[in-house]
Amino acid sequence: MSGLWLAVLLGSLGCYLLKVAGLSVPAAWVEHPVVARVVDFVPAALLAALVAVQAATSGSALVVDGRLAGLVVAAVALALRAPFVVVLLLAGLTGAGVHWLGSGG
């Protein structure tokens, strides 16, 4: 099996078991304040890390290109409460625009 399929299937199994656990284990196990707090904060840390890695790295290098420009535009659009589709369209147009400028038009 390829590594990609292994990741897809293992990840799916892990996430499903976590869902089943929630419906099966005694509430007291997961309602400990420390557990609840960690679970509440983990998404912010991981999603922000993914934003940074997706927007500003390539392999092991930090890079600045159209993705970062698109991210800035997306942040402005989100701050202005633009709908999700508009945010993605603006980011995509920005990325394409920078690519076009970079390749000499």
Partner 1 sequence: MTDPARAARRATIRDALGLGVAVGLYGAAFGAAAVAAGLDAWQACALSLLMFTGASQFALVGVLGAGGGVLAAVGSAVLLGTRNTIYGVRLVPLLQPRGGLRRLGTAHLVIDESTALALAAPDRANARLAFTVGGGSIFLGWNITTLIGALGADALTGASLAALDAVVPAAFLALLWPRLQRSWAEPAAQRRVALGGAVVALALTPFVPAGVQVITAVVAVALAGRWRR
Q: For residues 57-86, which are near partner 1 according to CB under 8 A?
A: 57, 59-62, 66-67, 69-71, 73-75, 78, 84-85
Q: How far is the CB of 76 from partner 1 (least distance, A)?
A: 11
**Rounded least distance, CB 36 to partner 1, Å:** 7
Backbone angles phi, psi at 78, to 5 degrees: -65, -40
The verdict on 4 binding partner 1 (CB under 8 A) reads yes
Q: How many CA atoms lie within 13 A of 15 on its CB side?
A: 6
Given a contact cutoff of 8 angstroms between Cβ atoms, the answer to whether 85 and 74 are in contact is no
Q: Which residues are registered as beta bridge partners of 62?
A: 57
Site for partner 1 in 13-42 (CB under 8 A): 14-16, 18-25, 27, 30-31, 36-42
